[in-house]
């Protein structure tokens, strides 16, 4: 026995040793690269500029300057040329140079909150890096890594944004930390005429928690494929230039992230998580590195999401000779040449790891250092890898190789291309002939504006060589549906050409592409009028708001379009000025010297309390939106013209992209869809619901209309109605092409006139909706908030506090009425702010929430002030609160958090309900759900669902209720209420208690019982994270089992006869702990789930049985990076009852409970143990007109047994068999399995995977 153990141990050790023996810290060179030092050198060439690459510098030396950074600083500043052995370093600092930090800038979890105990140390780590480039004349860029996103955790977004602010404040420079705001990028940085740098945040791709999607946070992409597409677009328009892509995650690696581990990793696996965690875990510890090789870790190349990133980038980069991909992540230096792509790892700024040899690499080195990419005057590009020596004052060149060469730009004889003269040229074409439809399709999909789309109109040619002095393409733009091209005019202005026809497929989940759903949403483009935007300018001018002036044109297939000729050439669209930055040439934009985005506007308003929005002008613009039925008014549809005041600036709205004006959603299916998507309001003769029409603009309206009264709304509506005379409306609509006007013009005019008469009523109703909950934000400067609670109203005033700490100008005043407003939420933001609350007989006072800021606030509320809630930090503030004031103080910075986009309207509606079991068959039913939002309630204030269903096969029916009330008892402390009722015909199986009970003649009817049961519970839950929660609470359960004739319950083998036909009532206490770390709830590919329960039952009356049930179930999933897709799914569990329990409270195994191949509830006992193993294979992708998805098979093996007081065998029961799964639209999944055992063969059907 000892010899066998020794042999086994030796064998395992040998395998681990072989797996790691090829790893090294020493430099390794591929055979053809071993003579690199004596090969050709570029030293005789003129160096134009360099890009320095260093990553993972997040843990620099505490006691001295990190040697890597010291050597880097010397080279960046061209010092110590003798030490670094370069003739060209005597040059002065070049503005064309760049230093790029490639992520993981602060270990382990990014930059913490300002009051965190380790804040100073974390600041030191990033400051060490920033000091290298402080005063640097070139370009410094910091790219985030996974550790900068709070080590990939739930607080990742706020942490990376905190780090961005700190870096840019310290360096006193913007656009240093890229991409900004937690966006994925890509960010294009034009270093000079020959070099473009593209910054990508690859952690955005891999992050499974909150991350921004376009247009939020100013991001340009809303999906992973869109990021790849935009990178491709940048490369396309920079053909022939040097391109360097900077991102954290590599596409190739010979280190641990590439699945290559050392002997140390197997014996001390915790060091893979923390550097100094040397806890020996031989044999057992080898499991973790093994699982990482098969994709369990999102930060490893074997992970499926990481593989998707790799495939996406390689698909556009592998054939690009002039592209360098610079990465970090792996704590080493490595160079790969993959096809034409030059791939660099430079992640050894402050740490180093071993690398394996070979594996497609040209060079590897497991030590600290950095890479340097040099560009020379003859077009050559070289890379160098440097290692610091000693303290870093000197360095050693470890490897150098040429990457590519771009032919130098010589003098080429100018040859003017012959261009067409498009003057006075026109073309006749339809905006969308494909929208023609027959009678049935029109009834089903809607009449819309099909005739206007399909009618040919005469359109002028756009001459790109003449318009605006000549147009040069800049880049592709557009939103979720629109394709547009940004063009620079020689007149100095930026223009935009956008196609009239749209492509809404980007709005669809991937699973619905190329199906009827794509055709349906494409067809719904006809709901928008193709020429509606042409009717807007004259009406906007008449009421005194800004507007774009789109010109309908035909874009020819001109060579001046360059690489964009395929996207926009030969198509009809609008050309208009783009309201960005200097728009002083355009009266329709107020001749403003500067126009900014909504995101930038929020920053300006926060920075200075002298800045303000012209709220009355914005109100007119918004009421005009309601008049013309334009529902698509999200924040990216606005720019803001800036006008300087004596102090500060006033910002006036510039609406843009009026493509949804006059949208018409008729037809059966669009009418149904509008119930689920209420902001899709049809432009009819009546303004039916201004609130739903304004859902997209809900937060803009609440932030930029909060000073205005009902009288202001009414005056604005009356002014618009008066200025939009019949003549103005008619002449405006007639600006459409006459061919299209003939189809729909008169109808639009009639509807506008009708809606004009209802605008005042709609304005008042919308005011009332906005006034129910009002948000008012201060600034990062000092303000004094004065609140007066009056008998029927509350007066809010905000004043500036000047540099002498004196209260000065009033910046906000409004009186809120108790019959209109229920809540007022005040946010002080940063700065030392003051709050005073007084009251006069305010029994009906409005609830006021005051949220302090980062500064030291002075808060005073009177002794009788009611309905006042103060949120602030526990320390650093002076708070004199009255007895009736509620204080919600916290050490967490989240107490001061302000989100201008936080408001959501409640959601409610019917929900289909279904269930299935082998005895009752299919249950079909209907439910109703409500999701109620509330102040700082995540994800909702509450959500409730009530459903009922009926099973035709057995006649059974059931009801279900579940209500979750979030953060009722403090942050993340929830209440969950549940109730269930099963009718008397609801069936269960019972074969007796024991592991070897009989199944006579395999007669399932013989063992079937009908039950009636009712249960209710009230659970108190705490959420530690989204994936980890626990709860406990009381409940009630009622059971009654009926006695059927000629069944098992009537035989001598059934000893629990006294429990039949006798109702039983139990008081219960249920508790649970739930952990769910799986990557995909529909089809888990990696991760773990764990749930353990402790449930107590106390019978009232009757036999007075009392019992405690303990139950634990854990699941594990892994998808190895094989050439074929296969997922291993494991589940194991156990349960046990303590005390006395009813027969229907036993722990059971069967087809419906962890043991396939047997009848439902086949084995029952005091306790059970089981395991399930599945191998799940994907066979093919399904794609046809009706549905898309995946088809796969799986094989399973189940085993388990129960324990009881009965005499029984100790055998384990086994079931096995095949199964088939289908994933529809990548949204929902169904499975069927064929279970085989010694007792029979049984099919099971499941919604979702079995586990």
CATH code, domain carrying 1150 = 2.40.160.50
Asked if pLDDT for residue 1010 goes beyond 60, the answer is yes
Instruction: Kindly state whether residues 794 and 749 are assigned to the same domain.
Output: no
Tokens of 790: 């009056």
> CA 658, CA 20: separation in Å to the nearest integer?
62
Give Rg (Cα) of the chain: 35
Question: According to the model, what pLDDT value does residue 220 have?
Answer: 87
Residue 439 and residue 555 share a domain: yes
Confidence class for position 1080, pLDDT limits 50, 70, 90 = confident
Contact residues for 657 (Cβ-Cβ < 8 A; gap 6+): 479, 482, 498, 533, 548, 632, 637
Q: Residue 275: what pLDDT?
A: 60
Query: What confidence category does residue 99 fall into, taking pLDDT thresholds of 50, 70 and 90?
Result: very high
- What is the spatial distance between Cα 1116 and Cα 1107, in angstroms, rounded to a whole number? 30
Please indicate whether residue 328 or residue 525 has the higher confidence score (pLDDT).
Answer: 328
Is 1079 a residue whose pLDDT tops 90? no
Half-sphere exposure of 810 (CA within 13 A, CB side): 7
Residue 530 lies in a domain: yes
**pLDDT, averaged across the chain:** 88
Helices and strands in the chain: count of H runs, count of E runs: 24, 56
Distance CA 15, CA 263 (A): 10
Sign (positive/negative) of CA torsion 266, 270, 273, 278?
negative
d(CA 411, CA 409): 7
716 phi/psi in degrees, rounded to 5: -65, -40
Would the CA dihedral through 1163, 1164, 1167, 1170 be positive or negative?
positive
Q: Which helix (H) or strand (E) holds 474?
A: strand 471-477
The first and second tokens of residue 1064, run together, are: 């039983």
With 80 as the cut, is the pLDDT of residue 671 above it? yes
Residue 953, classified by CB atoms within 10 Å of its CB into exposed (0-12), middle (13-18) or buried (19+), is: exposed
Residue 39 phi/psi, 5-degree rounding, is: -75, -175
DSSP state of 13: H
**Can you give the pLDDT at residue 595?**
95
For the ranges 455-464, 613-622, 751-760, 1050-1059, the lowest mean pLDDT is seen at: 1050-1059
Q: Please check whether residue 924 lies inside any domain of the structure.
A: no
Paired tokens of 381: 């590009």
* Residue 717 tokens, joined: 């509506």
pLDDT at 1149: 96
872-880 long-range Cβ contacts below 8 angstroms, 24+ apart: 872/896, 873/115, 875/115, 877/852
Q: What is the pLDDT of residue 285?
A: 57
With respect to residue 274, please indicate whether it lies within any of the assigned structural domains. no
Please, are residues 989 and 1006 in contact by the beta-carbon 8 Å criterion? no
Based on the fold, state whether residues 883 and 1008 are members of the same structural domain. Answer: no
H or E segment and range at residue 959: strand 957-965
In contact, 756 and 627? CB cutoff 8 Å: yes
Has residue 149 been placed in a domain?
Answer: yes
- State the pLDDT at residue 18: 40
**Domain co-membership, 816 together with 761:** no
Q: Which of 517, 512, 521 is nearest to 1189 (CA)?
A: 512
Number of domains the chain contains? 4
From CA 821, how far away is CA 842, in angstroms rounded? 14
Pair of tokens at residue 573: 């669209």
pLDDT at residue 287 in the model: 65
* Spatial contact of 1231 and 1250, defined as CB atoms under 8 Å apart: yes
User: Cα–Cα distance between 980 and 965 in angstroms, integer?
Assistant: 18
The tokens of 4 are what? 């066998």
Q: How far apart are CA 931 and CA 244, in angstroms?
A: 47
1203 Cβ partners below 8 Å, 6+ apart?
A: 995, 1136, 1165, 1166, 1167, 1168, 1169
d(CA 363, CA 342): 12
**DSSP code of 499?**
E
pLDDT tens digits for range 47-84:
999 999 999 999 999 999 999 999 999 999 875 443 34
Residue 278 neighbours by CB under 8 Å, 6+ apart: 268, 270, 271
DSSP string, 316-345: HHTT-TTEEEEE-SSSSEEEEEETTEEEEE
Report which of 272, 257, 239 is spatially closest to residue 103, judged by C-alpha positions: 257
The answer, yes or no, to whether residue 708 has pLDDT greater than 70, is yes
3-state secondary structure at position 770? helix
Same domain, 1093 and 1044: yes
Whether residue 844 contacts residue 829, with contact meaning beta carbons closer than 8 Å, is answered with no
**The pair of three-digit structure tokens given for residue 656, joined into one six-digit string:** 């843009």
CA dist 235 and 245 (Å) reads: 10
Q: How many residues appear in the chain? A: 1251
Predicted confidence (pLDDT) at residue 281 exceeds the cutoff of 90:
no
Cα–Cα dist 1024/1030, whole Å: 8
For the segment 1187-1191, the average pLDDT, to the nearest whole number, is 82
Do 975 and 860 share a domain, yes or no?
A: no
Among 593, 684, 603, residue whose Cα is nearest residue 643: 593
pLDDT of 11 above 60 = no
pLDDT of res. 800: 93
- CB burial class (10 A; 0-12, 13-18, 19+) of residue 948? middle
pLDDT confidence of residue 272: 57
Question: In 969-1101, where do the E strands start and end?
Answer: 973-989, 1008-1025, 1028-1041, 1064-1078, 1087-1099
In a domain, 66, yes or no: yes
pLDDT digits (tens, 9 = 90+) for 765-816: 999 999 999 999 999 999 999 999 988 899 999 999 988 888 889 999 999 9
Tell me how far apart the alpha carbons of residues 598 and 602 are, in angstroms, rounded to a whole number.
6
Task: Please tell me whether residues 109 and 32 are part of one structural domain.
Answer: yes
pLDDT in tens, 239-257: 889 999 999 999 999 998 8
Residue 15 banded pLDDT, cuts 50, 70, 90: very low
Q: Are 1107 and 1044 found together in one domain?
A: yes
- Residue 517 forms part of a structural domain: yes
Q: 347 and 209 share a domain?
A: yes
Count the neighbouring beta carbons within 10 Å of the beta carbon of residue 1124.
8
pLDDT of residue 24 exceeding 70, the answer is no
* 125-179 pLDDT, tens digit each: 999 999 999 888 899 999 999 999 999 988 899 999 999 999 999 998 888 999 9
Of the pLDDT bands very low, low, confident and very high (cuts 50, 70, 90), residue 1183 is confident
> For residues 603 and 617, which has the higher predicted lDDT (pLDDT)?
617
**Could you tell me the residue range of the domain that residue 1003 belongs to?**
967-1247
**Residue range 1110-1135, pLDDT digits in tens:** 999 999 988 876 767 889 999 999 99
CA 1093 to chain centre: 32
Contacts of 329 (CB under 8 A, 6+ apart): 55, 56, 102, 103, 104, 145, 146, 248, 249, 250, 253, 257, 299, 345, 347
pLDDT at 915 over 70: yes
Q: Where are the beta strands (DSSP E) in 278-433?
A: 323-327, 333-338, 341-346, 355-356, 361-365, 370-376, 380-389, 394-405, 426-429
How far, in Å, CA of 309 to CA of 103, rounded? Answer: 17
Residue 1087 scores a pLDDT above 60: yes
Q: DSSP per residue over 29-40, as a string? A: E-GGGTTGGGS-
Pairing outcome for strands 957-965 and 942-950: antiparallel
Cβ-in-10-Å burial (0-12, 13-18, 19+) of 377 comes to exposed
Question: Which of 405, 436, 456 is a domain's end point?
Answer: 405
The Cα–Cα gap between 920 and 1040 comes to 18
Residues 36, 401 contacting (CB under 8 angstroms): yes
Give the pair of three-digit tokens for residue 1027: 């994936």
Distance CA 445, CA 437 (A): 9
Where a domain ends, among 877, 896, 915? 896
Residue 288 scores a pLDDT above 90: no
Contact 794, 819 (CB under 8 A): no
Question: What whole-number distance in Å separates Cα of residue 182 and Cα of residue 205?
Answer: 11
In angstroms, the CA 266 to CA 256 distance is 12
Please tell me the predicted confidence (pLDDT) of residue 1011.
Answer: 87
Share of the chain above pLDDT 70, in %: 91
Q: Which of these three, 768, 797, 817, is where a domain ends?
A: 768
* Residues 628 and 487 both lie in one domain: yes
- Give the integer Cα–Cα distance in Å for 324 and 197: 9
Same domain assignment for residues 1014 and 1088: yes
pLDDT of 348 above 90: yes
Report DSSP letters for 213-243, one per residue.
-TTGGG-S-SSHHHHHHHHHHHHHHTTTSEE
Q: Do 752 and 856 belong together in one domain?
A: no
Residue 901, domain member (yes or no): no
What pLDDT does 1085 receive?
Answer: 84
- For the segment 831-866, what is each residue's pLDDT rounded down to a tens digit? 889 999 988 766 678 999 999 987 788 999 886 777
Residue that the structure tokens 């937060």 belong to: 699
Cα 800 from chain centroid? 37
The values of phi and psi at residue 123, to 5°, are: -65, -40
Q: Answer whether residue 1084 is part of any domain.
A: yes
User: Confidence band (pLDDT; 50, 70, 90) for 903?
Assistant: very high
Mean pLDDT of 945-959: 90
């Amino acid at each position: 026995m000892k010899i066998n153990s020794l042999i086994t141990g030796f064998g395992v050790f040998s395998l681990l040793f072989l797996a790691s023996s090829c790893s090294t810290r020493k430099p390794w060179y591929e055979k053809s690269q071993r003579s690199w030092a004596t090969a050709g050198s570029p030293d005789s060439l003129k160096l134009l500029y360099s890009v320095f690459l260093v990553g993972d510098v997040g843990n620099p030396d505490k006691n001295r300057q990190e040697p890597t950074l010291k050597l880097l600083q010397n080279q960046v500043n061209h010092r110590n040329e003798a030490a670094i052995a370069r003739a060209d370093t005597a040059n002065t600092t070049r503005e064309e140079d760049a230093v790029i930090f490639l992520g993981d800038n602060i270990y382990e979890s990014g930059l913490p909150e300002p009051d965190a105990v380790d804040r100073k140390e974390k600041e030191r780590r990033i400051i060490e890096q920033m000091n290298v480039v402080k005063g640097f004349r070139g370009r410094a860029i910091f790219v985030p890594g996974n550790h900068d996103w709070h080590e990939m955790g739930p607080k990742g977004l706020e942490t990376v944004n905190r780090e961005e602010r700190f870096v840019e404040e310290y360096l006193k420079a913007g656009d240093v930390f890229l991409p900004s705001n937690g966006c994925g990028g890509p960010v294009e940085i034009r270093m000079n005429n020959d070099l473009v740098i593209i910054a990508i945040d690859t952690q955005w791709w891999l992050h499974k928690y909150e991350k921004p999607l376009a247009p939020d946070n100013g991001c340009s992409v809303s999906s992973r494929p869109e990021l790849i597409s935009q990178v491709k677009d940048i490369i396309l328009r920079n053909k022939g230039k040097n391109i360097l892509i900077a991102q954290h995650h590599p596409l190739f690696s010979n280190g641990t992230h590439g699945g290559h581990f050392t002997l140390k990793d197997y014996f001390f696996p915790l060091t893979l998580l923390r550097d100094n965690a040397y806890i020996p875990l031989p044999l057992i510890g080898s499991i973790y590195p093994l699982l990482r090789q098969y994709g369990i870790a999102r930060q490893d190349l074997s992970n499926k999401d990481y593989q998707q990133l790799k495939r996406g980038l390689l698909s556009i980069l592998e054939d690009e000779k002039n592209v360098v991909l610079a990465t970090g992540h792996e704590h080493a230096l490595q160079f790969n040449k993959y096809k034409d792509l030059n791939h660099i790892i430079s992640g050894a700024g402050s740490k180093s790891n071993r690398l394996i040899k070979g594996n497609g690499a040209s060079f590897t080195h497991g030590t600290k250092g950095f890479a340097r990419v040099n560009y020379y005057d003859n077009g050559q590009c070289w890379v160098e890898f440097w290692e610091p020596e000693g303290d870093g004052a000197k360095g050693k060149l470890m490897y150098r190789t040429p990457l590519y060469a771009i032919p130098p730009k010589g003098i080429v004889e100018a040859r003017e291309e012959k261009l067409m003269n498009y003057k006075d040229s026109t073309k006749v074409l339809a905006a969308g002939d494909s929208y023609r439809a027959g009678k049935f399709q029109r009834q089903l999909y809607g009449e819309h504006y099909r005739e206007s789309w399909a009618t040919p109109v005469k359109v002028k040619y756009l001459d790109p060589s003449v318009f605006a002095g000549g147009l040069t393409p800049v880049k592709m733009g557009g939103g979720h549906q629109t394709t547009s091209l940004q063009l620079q005019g020689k007149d100095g202005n930026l223009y935009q050409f956008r196609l009239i026809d749209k492509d809404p497929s980007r709005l669809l989940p991937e699973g619905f592409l190329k199906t009827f759903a794509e055709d349906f949403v494409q067809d719904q483009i006809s709901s928008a009028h193709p020429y509606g935007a042409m009717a807007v300018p004259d009406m906007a001018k008449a009421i005194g708001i800004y507007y774009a002036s789109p010109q309908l044109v035909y874009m020819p297939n001109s060579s001046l379009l360059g690489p964009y000729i395929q996207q926009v050439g030969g198509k009809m669209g609008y050309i208009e000025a783009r309201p960005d930055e200097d728009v002083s040439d355009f009266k329709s934009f107020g001749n403003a010297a500067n126009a900014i985005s909504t995101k930038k506007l929020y920053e300006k308003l926060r920075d200075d309390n002298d800045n303000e929005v012209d709220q009355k002008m914005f109100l007119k613009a918004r009421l005009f939106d309601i008049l013309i039925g334009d529902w698509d008014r999200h924040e990216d549809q606005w720019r803001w013209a800036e006008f300087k005041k004596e102090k500060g600036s006033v910002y006036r709205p510039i609406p843009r992209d009026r493509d949804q004006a006059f949208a018409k959603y008729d037809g059966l299916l669009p009418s149904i869809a509008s119930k689920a998507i209420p902001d899709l309001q049809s432009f009819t003769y009546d303004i039916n619901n201004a609130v739903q029409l304004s859902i997209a603009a809900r937060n803009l309206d609440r932030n930029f209309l909060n000073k205005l009264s009902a009288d202001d709304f009414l005056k604005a509506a009356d002014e618009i109605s008066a200025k939009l005379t019949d003549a103005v409306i008619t002449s405006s609509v007639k600006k459409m092409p006459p061919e299209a006007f003939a189809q729909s013009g008169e109808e639009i005019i009639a509807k506008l006139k009708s809606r004009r008469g209802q605008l005042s009523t709609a304005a008042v109703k919308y005011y009332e909706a906005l006034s129910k909950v009002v948000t008012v934000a201060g600034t990062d400067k000092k303000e004094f908030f004065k609140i007066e609670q009056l008998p029927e109203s509350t007066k809010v005033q905000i004043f500036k506090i000047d540099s002498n700490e004196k209260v000065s100008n009033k910046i906000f005043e409004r009186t809120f009425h108790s019959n209109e407003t229920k809540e007022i939420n005040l946010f002080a933001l940063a700065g030392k702010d003051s709050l005073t609350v007084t009251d006069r007989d305010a029994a009906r006072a409005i609830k006021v929430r005051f949220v302090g800021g980062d500064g030291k606030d002075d808060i005073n509320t009177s002794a009788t002030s009611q309905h006042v809630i103060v949120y602030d930090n526990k320390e650093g503030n002076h708070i004199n609160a009255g007895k009736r004031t509620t204080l919600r103080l916290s050490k967490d910075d989240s107490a001061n958090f302000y989100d201008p986009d936080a408001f959501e309207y409640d959601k409610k509606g019917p929900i289909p309900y279904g269930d299935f079991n082998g005895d009752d068959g299919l249950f079909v039913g209907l439910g109703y759900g409500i999701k109620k939002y509330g102040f700082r309630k995540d994800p909702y204030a509450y959500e409730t669902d009530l459903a009922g269903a009926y099973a035709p096969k057995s006649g059974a029916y059931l009801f279900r209720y579940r209500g979750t009330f979030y953060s009722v008892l403090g942050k993340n402390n929830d209440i969950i209420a549940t109730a269930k009722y099963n009718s008397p015909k609801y069936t269960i199986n019972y074969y007796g208690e024991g592991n070897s009970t009989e199944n006579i003649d395999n007669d399932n009817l013989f063992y079937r019982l009908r039950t009636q049961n009712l249960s209710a519970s009230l659970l108190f839950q705490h959420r530690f994270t989204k994936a980890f929660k626990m709860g406990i609470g009381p409940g009630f359960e009622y059971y009654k089992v009926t006695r059927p004739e000629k069944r098992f319950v009537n035989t001598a083998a059934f000893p629990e006869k006294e429990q039949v036909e006798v109702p039983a009532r139990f008081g219960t206490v249920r508790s649970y702990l739930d952990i769910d770390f799986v990557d995909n709830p529909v089809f888990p590919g990696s991760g773990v789930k764990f749930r353990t329960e402790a449930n107590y039952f106390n019978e009232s009356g009757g036999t007075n049985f009392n019992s405690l049930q303990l139950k634990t179930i854990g699941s594990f999933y892994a998808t190895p990076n094989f050439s074929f897709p296969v997922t291993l799914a494991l589940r194991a569990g156990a349960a046990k009852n303590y005390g006395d329990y009813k027969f229907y409270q036993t722990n059971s195994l069967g087809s419906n409970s962890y043991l396939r191949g047997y009848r439902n509830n086949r084995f029952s006992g005091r306790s059970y143990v089981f395991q399930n193993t599945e191998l799940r294979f994907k066979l093919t992708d399904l794609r046809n007109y009706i549905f898309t998805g995946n088809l796969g098979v799986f094989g399973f093996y189940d085993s388990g047994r129960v324990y009881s007081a009965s005499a029984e065998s100790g055998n384990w029961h086994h079931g096995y068999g095949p199964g088939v799964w289908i994933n529809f639209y990548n949204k929902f999944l169904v499975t069927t399995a064929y279970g085989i055992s010694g007792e029979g063969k049984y099919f099971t059907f499941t919604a979702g995977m079995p586990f």
